Structures are given as C-alpha cells and as structure tokens.
Chain A
C-alpha cells in the first residue's frame, strides 16, 4: 500500500527530484507494472496443488527412471566452515562415482565455497562432465559491498568454477529497491562471464509467495537461457519446499511461454529423501513438462539425498534394502 501511495506521488514530484533519487524512483512504477502483470499468488491454493503431487504413486520402472534422473540432477554440496581440501576431494570422488553400480549416472555438479574451487578442480580434472558450482557473493547473507562480491565471483571463475550460485540482495528487495536487486544480478552475471548463473532467492527470507514470484521475474529478466533460479542457501530454517518450488516453476513456465527463454530451476536445502525428490520431479513433469526433466534444466542442491537415492535404486533392483555401510559417505551438509 505504501509503495502504491509513493508511486502516485512521484508523478507530481518527478521533475523536481535530483537525478540520483530519480533513477531509483523512476523504476518503481515499472516494477509495479511488472508485479501487476505477473499477478498474485494464493498461499492456500499453492499448498493444495502441491499436496496432490504427494499422492502420486510412482512404481517399478517409472520409479527407477525417476531415481536415476534425480541422481543425475544432484549438485552434491558441502558448505561448511570446517570444509577442507580433503573433504572436498572426497565429495568430488563421490560425484564422479556415486556407487559401485555402473548403471548409476554421475551427479551434475559439486557445489563448494569459492576457496575450495581449486581443490575441487584438482580432483575432477578438466576433462569431466561433473561441473563445479561455487557459492560466491558473500554467501549466504550477501551482506558485503558489491565490489567484494564481484571480486569473489571473478576469483571463483578464475579458479575453475563452471557455475556461480549467487544470493540476491534480500535487504534491497524487502526495502522495495527492486532495480538494485536486478542491477546486482546483472553485475554478477557480467563478472561470471560464460559461467552458468544460479540466482538464489532465499525464499524463507522473502516470506510470501507473492514475493517469491516477483523475485523470480526480477531475476529471470536478467538471465540467459540455461541460467537458474534457486530456492535457498540451505542456511535458514526453511529451505526448498514443494510450495516454493511450485511458485518458481510456474514463474519459469510463464516466462518461457511469454519470451521463449527457458530458465532452469534448482531447489536446494531440505530435500533429503528419494521420496521427496520424486515429488519435486512430479511437480516438474506436470507443470513444465518433459523438456525440464534433465540436469541442464533442473537440479537438486543436496548432499544426504544422494545416498538415499542410491539405496532406493538398489532396493528397486534387488527387492531388499541394503545396509547403509554399502554406500560410501562423502558429504554431511544440507
């Protein structure tokens, strides 16, 4: 309400504002138009919709296909203060060879802090399909000067990162400085060069689905085909949920149908079981369709998920659950 009121007053005061203030205020009506265009989200409706995904029953071959596809979509992650080159090396080995079974695919990427990128690159080498993603931009808060964040992105890419997972400026978003959010995304994209960009909205700090949808569009307007929007850092109390995922993939769908640009999606944090992963994939299948059921368009930011997927794959194949010590442990993050 306040923003709307402010918007009305601009019409009269615009001429007399100095240019610096004007650049901020000029864009607000444009964003209001954008938000009007994309429309609101009803929380109860979204949660009812996603509850239906959890009643789907996935059996036999379709389950096996879903589990293997999910393995190939994992961004195997370690993001801890206590990460060491040794821990990252073990993560990379797990990414290259998740299990003894040769039919099981490699994961999509490893995801590490910028300081760990060069260690990951050393283990993975240059001739590998497993990509290196790095959470640059003062992850997870993003509360550092833009200059610092840009520097971090550049150094991660120089060390061999293929993908940059950036956080948006939630403070700016909540203060209504949408153009600043967008400009920073643009600056990070430029700093990353050809690296794939993943924009973390940190949904739990945006709090409402309306905000999640709005932030998705603000980000997508800056992104290239193949770049991602991502739910969360995994560092807050509430991370990826089916509800957040649904709002974001519906935004991706609407943006695609409007512009033809296919943005990718990465839910991260809180997805620990194979059952959850299948529910997220059902949401993708029934909302975005077949073109998003691959790891160029959809990823899971996770660590403990991987071994549960492997356990369930072995269970489908052998009919019995295997002891946990048959599966190598390499990560214990979100």
Chain B
C-alpha cells in the first residue's frame, strides 16, 4: 500500500510541483478561554491527622508553586518523624476501636459520601488540580476528578460484598497501610490508594508528592465533611524523608508505593525481611505497536493520546512507538501533521492540549534526555508552537530513526517525547516490545483480531490496549511486570491486595 503512495509522490516531484502541504496558521485563532471556577485555595495547608488539621511539630512549611507561571500557590506543612508517628498512632487507634469493627455496609456509606461530595465540588477540584500540577484543565475536568470519584463509587460497592471477593475464603483487613503517591495524577492516585484500602477495612497514612499536595489536603476537607471517624485517613506532607518514614514505620502492615523504579527499589531494599506486604507501581517504557493493516488515523490519535496525555507524565505512556516498516513513513507524516495542531500553553485554558511540565527538576530531566537523543543521532521533530515565557513548558517532541540502543529508547523520560522505532515482522515487534526492563503497558493497532490475541499473550505487560490507548476503569486491574512493579490496583485483584485471607 505504501508503495503506491510513494510512487505517486515521486511522480509529482518529477513534474516539478512542490509537495502539497496543509496550512495550520492563524486564520482562526481561538481566544483565551480560562476556566473561571474558584479553586478555594487556602494560603496555608496543615497536616491531616486524627480527623483534624494540625500544624507540623517542627513548625516548618514549604511552598507549593503553580508550574504554569512559577507563582506561589500556598504553603504546605512539612511533616517530621514525630508527625508521622502521630499519624500512625491515630490510624492504629482508629483501626482497633472503630473502622475494623464497622459493618461493610456502614463503611460503604462513607465511601459513597466521599464520592458524592467530590462530584459536588468537581469544578473546584479540577481547577485546583490544574493550578497545582500543570495538567490541562480539560484533563483534570474530564478525566482526573470524575475518575477519582468513580473509584470511590466502585469500591463503595464492594465494601458490603467482601464475602464474595474471594470465593471459598473470608477476607480480613490488614491494619494500617502506609501509602506514597506521585505527582502526575495527585487526586486520582489518592483515590486509587485509599478507596480499596478503606473498603476492605484498613486505615491509612498517606503522603502525597511534595509538588502536588493541595488536592490531597482539599480531599481531607471532604473526608472531614463526610464524617469519617477520626484517624481512619491521615495525610502527612513533605518530600522523600517523610515518604521514607511512612514506608518504614513499624505499625504499617502494608505499604503501597507509586513512583519511580529507582525509589521503588530503595523502598524494597529497606523493607526486605520486615514482613510488610508491599505493592509497587513503578516506571514504564511502553511499546505502542502499529501494524500496516491498522486504521492509521485512529492509530495516530492513539499515539498522540498515548504519549502527550498529561504532558507524558504517565507511567504507562506509550513512549516507544513501534511501527511496521511498510507504513512507517505514512504514520510519521500523519503524526507530524497531527502534532502541528496540538495547543501547548496555559493549562487553565480550556483549549490547551498540553500544559506545563510539573516541575523545574522534571523539565531539566526531559531536556537532558532529549539532548542525548539528538547527540546519539536520532532525528528530532518539534512543531513551531509558541511557549509561554514564564513557567515550565516543553514542546511535543518525536524522534524518528531511533534504535533499541538509544538512551531515549531505554530510559523513562516521563515527558512529551516519543521515540519511533520500526519493525518488519510480528516476532520482531514482540521481541523489541519486550526488550526493556519495564512491563507496565503496551498498545497494539491492527485490524486483525487474531493478531491482537496473539500479541496480548506474548507481550510482557500488565495492560495491553488494542486499538486504543490510556483507557482506565475502576473495575480493571492495573499494574506491572518486571521492574514496573507488582500488585494490582483496581478491580477485584486490586481490592485483594489490601486484605488477607482468613
């Protein structure tokens, strides 16, 4: 098929005509359209321990900034070891005295209440999430907040049906669970972590990422308003040391971590032999595989969604595009035209497709890896879009002529950067897709059903999407193979990771 197309192109260039091009200019510019809902931010956020907002014992605070303009949003309490201790004591106390003794249907009521209160304040939370993290408002509005509420609803449904979750066995809660979550989906990861824990009857001590603590502490307001018994959920804020304290605390019966593979390994090393249950959801370098019979325009849309969703700050991002050689040129040409109309800019604008990079540090890391790609000889393409002068932004970037030995094909970039490799046969596609330390997700694009089934069996990835990408649902378990971690979140499997068979 591509042969025909390329022959025609050659003949037109023989006629001396310029190759036809589309014009994506400024004939019809969209006016700014900022979301105007009030995020109702406080100037200072305290720790949430035992149902109350309390100042950190050290009296120290750190700033949370808006990555879109580098302006300070609020001060966040910096927890110390004593605060983490207080949080665990509160959680253990709540577990022993109230939460584990409540009937499942009673726990369900609290979860339903949290879900509904979150829906009531959806716009407010969406704006707060966008200001704090830099993701486009259309994503926080249409994905993060509704999906977070959906996780509470889903697990509320499980709370009174736990006798059916493991047929033939009874399940019991573990106790207090320590959880640390990343900055890419602050509210959603929070929901992923605490909803199943609470449904099963556990109590929680959770630390959000230091750059994105605000929606977590706003959710604390909802938890308080929902009347959840004090101590069932506790939030401690701060950077790595606080996280380490949360993970290492002796009262933690289980720890759950979502973040980088590097930190995950440190946690696993430090907890080896402690007898704590663990689930780890770590990095990824997913292969998005496009065969020559695929619906190409929809595949291009899926590639864009796979790597540019949330600025590429997605552990399951389709960061390696494996494209069948017969259609490689065609796919790359379509992709370039598609990227030219992506709108990079102020995340609070409702028309923004790609928002701000979460932090200066992350921007530095992305820049460094992109430079390495250029240095190692891959061909870079970036659209000529204007970027705001303040704030952390990075153009959507695609690299073609990438091989498996390039750093940009091996290391997780966690930014809007796509590496394109080609393959000739199904076996080669599988081999290249699995030739990575990671195994979180993969995508397959083909019109052939049997090939989808074969690929989903052979790809070593926790999730394989067929003719779509980045689809999530509370009922569907999510998690990795190899260095992408272990344990599942979501669905019956995710729930079981928060209980023990009794």
A46 within 8 A of B: yes
Q: How far is the CA of A260 from the CA of B22 in the complex (A)?
A: 10
Q: Of residues 26 to 64 in A, which have CB atoms within 8 Å of B's CB atoms?
A: 33, 36-37, 39-42, 44-46, 48-49, 55-63
The answer to whether B22 and A289 have CB atoms under 8 Å apart is: yes
Residues from chain A with Cβ under 8 Å of B24 in the complex: 285-286, 289-290
Q: How far is the CA of A313 from the CA of B29 in the complex (A)?
A: 17
Residues from chain A with Cβ under 8 Å of B405 in the complex: none
Whether A290 touches B31, Cβ cut-off 8 Å, given contacts A256-B20, A260-B20, is no
Q: How far is the CA of A257 from the CA of B296 in the complex (A)?
A: 15
Please name the residue on chain A nearest to B296 by beta carbon: A39
Residues from chain A with Cβ under 8 Å of B22 in the complex: 253, 256-257, 288-289, 291
Q: How far is the CA of A286 from the CA of B341 in the complex (A)?
A: 6
Residues from chain B with Cβ under 8 Å of A65 in the complex: 28
Q: Of residues 291 to 342 in B, which have CB atoms within 8 Å of A's CB atoms?
A: 293-299, 301-302, 333, 337, 341
A66 within 8 A of B: yes
Shortest A26–chain B CB gap in Å is: 18
The answer to whether A259 and B298 have CB atoms under 8 Å apart is: no
Please name the residue on chain B nearest to A55 by beta carbon: B138
Residues from chain B with Cβ under 8 Å of A290 in the complex: 23-28
A104 within 8 A of B: no
Residues from chain A with Cβ under 8 Å of B21 in the complex: 257
The answer to whether B31 and A44 have CB atoms under 8 Å apart is: no
Interface residues of B: mostly helix, strand, loop or mixed? loop
A101 within 8 A of B: no
Q: How far is the CA of A44 from the CA of B447 in the complex (A)?
A: 13
From B12, B28, B297, B350, contact of A285 by CB (8 A): B28
Shortest A285–chain B CB gap in Å is: 6
Q: How far is the CA of A57 from the CA of B468 in the complex (A)?
A: 25
Please name the residue on chain B nearest to A285 by beta carbon: B28
A205 within 8 A of B: no
The answer to whether A259 and B295 have CB atoms under 8 Å apart is: no
Residues from chain A with Cβ under 8 Å of B333 in the complex: 257
From A36, A57, A253, contact of B351 by CB (8 A): A57
The answer to whether B298 and A57 have CB atoms under 8 Å apart is: no
9-residue interface stretch from B3-11, B59-67, B93-101, B104-112: B3-11
Whether A57 touches B33, Cβ cut-off 8 Å, given contacts A36-B1, A260-B17, is yes
Q: How far is the CA of A259 from the CA of B19 in the complex (A)?
A: 9
0/1 interface trace, chain B 66-90, chain A, CB 8 Å (1 if under): 0000000000000000000000000
Q: How far is the CA of A63 from the CA of B1 in the complex (A)?
A: 41
The answer to whether A45 and B30 have CB atoms under 8 Å apart is: no
Please name the residue on chain A nearest to B6 by beta carbon: A258
Whether A62 touches B28, Cβ cut-off 8 Å, given contacts A48-B301, A55-B142, A286-B341, is yes
B367 within 8 A of A: no
0/1 interface trace, chain B 343-354, chain A, CB 8 Å (1 if under): 000000011000
The answer to whether A289 and B25 have CB atoms under 8 Å apart is: yes
Q: How far is the CA of A65 from the CA of B302 in the complex (A)?
A: 31
Please name the residue on chain A nearest to B295 by beta carbon: A42
The answer to whether A259 and B467 have CB atoms under 8 Å apart is: no
Shortest A199–chain B CB gap in Å is: 21
Shortest A82–chain B CB gap in Å is: 38
Residues from chain B with Cβ under 8 Å of A37 in the complex: 1, 4-5
Q: How far is the CA of A169 from the CA of B8 in the complex (A)?
A: 29
A293 within 8 A of B: yes
Q: How far is the CA of A19 from the CA of B118 in the complex (A)?
A: 72
The answer to whether B341 and A58 have CB atoms under 8 Å apart is: no
Q: How far is the CA of A59 from the CA of B351 in the complex (A)?
A: 11
The answer to whether A57 and B9 have CB atoms under 8 Å apart is: no
In the complex, besides A49-B301, A55-B138, A289-B22, 15 extra interface pairs with C-beta distance below 8 angstroms are: A39-B295, A40-B294, A41-B295, A45-B298, A49-B298, A58-B33, A59-B30, A61-B31, A62-B31, A66-B28, A250-B297, A258-B5, A260-B12, A285-B27, A290-B27
Provide a sorted-by-A list of 8 A–B residue pairs whose CB atoms are within 8 angstroms.
Answer: A36-B1, A37-B1, A41-B297, A42-B298, A46-B298, A48-B301, A57-B30, A281-B28
